[in-house]
């Protein structure tokens, strides 16, 4: 049985919302709340503080990207996995810019969804195949723009090494195996790096690494 990952499910279609909730619950995850519109989602997320928010983009009363922006602003520790019917590139990039750490299309199977939620809880960026390259490509494009002049924080050699592997898209487990470290040690290095760089999640970390030419 899984560690009790606290999950909140947001979707305006009751049948879909109930089906996702049932799948997650049966797999041993803890669905602490659900919501059917954007305003309700922001309110409930503030009250229950989920680890992972499974979020549809097409919501009444407040769009999904705005829900994502507000929820992450009020609790930077929350990780947002978008689960959307749209695979449109503009929607994906907008979701990531608003703070989502993953994006899955609704055609994904049950096991794919469960794996995505678990990996999102661990801090991995999770994208439907084909979309990860799009996001990395956008980060590279942004990195080509002139950066604002800021003093670079001092990272240790090990933190820089871990950051380089994060930018290559490796999971924490893969990084741990490559560097012969424990999974927990890799997570600690990433958390320290996030703190030094004043970043909130792994997606922002990948973008920073690319901007610094650490790929």
- Digit-coded pLDDT (tens) for 114-138: 999 999 998 888 888 778 777 777 7
Place of tokens 């997606």: 203
Which pLDDT band holds residue 215 (cuts at 50, 70, 90)?
Answer: low
Residue 174 pLDDT more than 70? yes
CA distances from residue 137 to 80, 92, 197, 199, 200 in whole angstroms, order as listed: 21, 12, 22, 20, 20
Q: What integer is the mean pLDDT of 160-169? A: 84
Residues near 98 by Cβ (< 8 Å), separated by ≥ 6? 65, 66, 68, 69, 72
Name the residue among 215, 155, 162, 152 with its Cα closest to residue 187: 162
Helix (H, G, I), strand (E, B) or coil at 100: coil
- pLDDT of residue 108 exceeding 50, the answer is yes
Whole-number percent of the chain with pLDDT over 90: 43
Out of 19-28, 50-59, 80-89, 162-171, least confident range: 162-171
Residue 127, both tokens: 């994208």
In the structure, what pLDDT confidence band is assigned to residue 149 with cuts at 50, 70 and 90? very low
Quote the CA–CA distance of 208 and 191 in Å, as a whole number.
14
Please write the tens of the pLDDT for every residue from 47-101.
999 999 999 999 999 999 999 999 998 888 899 999 998 888 888 888 988 889 8
For the chain, domains (ranges, CATH) are 6-137 (3.40.50.2300), 148-211 (1.10.10.10)
**CB crowding 47-80: b at 16 or more within 10 Å, else e:** eebbbbbbbbbebeebebbbbbbbbbeeeeebbb
What's residue 20's pLDDT? Answer: 96
Share of the chain above pLDDT 70, in %: 93
More confident residue, 195 or 139: 195
The predicted pLDDT at position 27 comes to 94
């Amino acid at each position: 049985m899984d560690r009790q990952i606290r999950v909140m499910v947001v979707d305006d279609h009751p049948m879909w919302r109930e089906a996702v909730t049932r799948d997650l619950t049966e797999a041993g995850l803890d669905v602490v709340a659900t919501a059917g519109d954007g305003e309700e989602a922001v309110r409930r997320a503030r009250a229950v503080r989920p680890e992972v928010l499974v979020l549809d983009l097409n919501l009444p009363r407040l769009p999904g990207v705005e829900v994502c922006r507000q929820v992450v602003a009020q609790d930077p520790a929350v990780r947002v996995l978008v689960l959307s019917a749209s695979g449109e590139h503009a929607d994906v990039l907008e979701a990531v810019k608003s703070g989502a750490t993953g994006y899955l299309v609704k055609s994904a199977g049950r096991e794919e969804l469960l794996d995505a939620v678990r990996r999102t809880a661990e801090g991995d960026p999770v994208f439907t195949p084909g979309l990860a390259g799009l996001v990395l490509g956008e980060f590279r494009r942004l990195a080509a723009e002139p950066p604002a002049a800021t003093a670079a924080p001092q990272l240790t050699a090990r933190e820089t090494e871990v950051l380089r592997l994060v930018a290559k898209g490796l999971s924490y487990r893969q990084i741990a195996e490559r560097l012969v470290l424990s999974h927990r040690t890799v997570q600690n290095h990433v958390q320290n790096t996030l703190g030094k760089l004043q970043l909130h999640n792994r997606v922002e970390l990948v973008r920073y690494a690319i901007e610094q030419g650490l790929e």
